[in-house]
Amino acid sequence: MKSGSRDLLVVPDDWPRALLRARLREHGYHAVAAPSLDASSVYPVTDPEAGPIRLLVLDQGAYDSDGLDRFLQRHRGARVLLVAYATSEIPPGPWTAVLRRSGRTEEVLRAVRELLPLTPAASRHSWE
């Protein structure tokens, strides 16, 4: 399941975070997850097996401008997908893309695929 990079999900709620992580992994992404930007600091800048974090999927509920600044200083060049509340104002930030919450993991998966396409070899399931 090596994609040459990792995706970091920062979602404060356990079940949505676990579901989204599992869905991304099913499709060949090396997704890691944390409940907050501060908690995400446990992940090293690069992993010998999976590579650097190239995409941050940030739920608006976990948004913290200082934490985001620290993350971007550690993980230079990482793209940021904000999953925003359906009806709230979008906070200012260095967003590569913004997706309004719909409650569907497929929409987040589609956005991740657009921002970080996998090579054919990386997208194969480990059992193939």
Which residues, 6 or more positions from 127, have their beta carbon under 8 angstroms from its beta carbon? none
pLDDT of residue 118: 83
Task: Decide if pLDDT at 3 tops 80.
Answer: no
Distances (CA, A) of 96 to 19, 44, 93, 124: 23, 22, 9, 26
* 121 — pLDDT class (breaks 50, 70, 90): low
Instruction: Calculate mean pLDDT across residues 53-68.
Output: 95
The stretches of the chain forming alpha helices (DSSP H) are 14-26, 65-74, 105-115, 120-123
Sign of the Cα torsion 26, 29, 47, 40 reads negative
Q: Dihedral sign for Cα 92, 97, 100, 101, please.
A: negative
Q: Enter the tokens of residue 52.
A: 């650097």
For 33, phi then psi, to 5°, come to -145, 155
Average pLDDT over residues 70-90: 94
pLDDT of residue 95: 97
What would the pLDDT profile of 93-118 be if each residue is shown by its tens digit?
Answer: 999 999 998 878 899 999 999 999 98
Q: Which residue has the higher pLDDT, 128 or 45?
A: 45
Instruction: For each of the domains in the chain, give its residue range(s) and CATH number, in order of start.
Output: 6-123 (3.40.50.2300)
pTM value > 0.75: yes
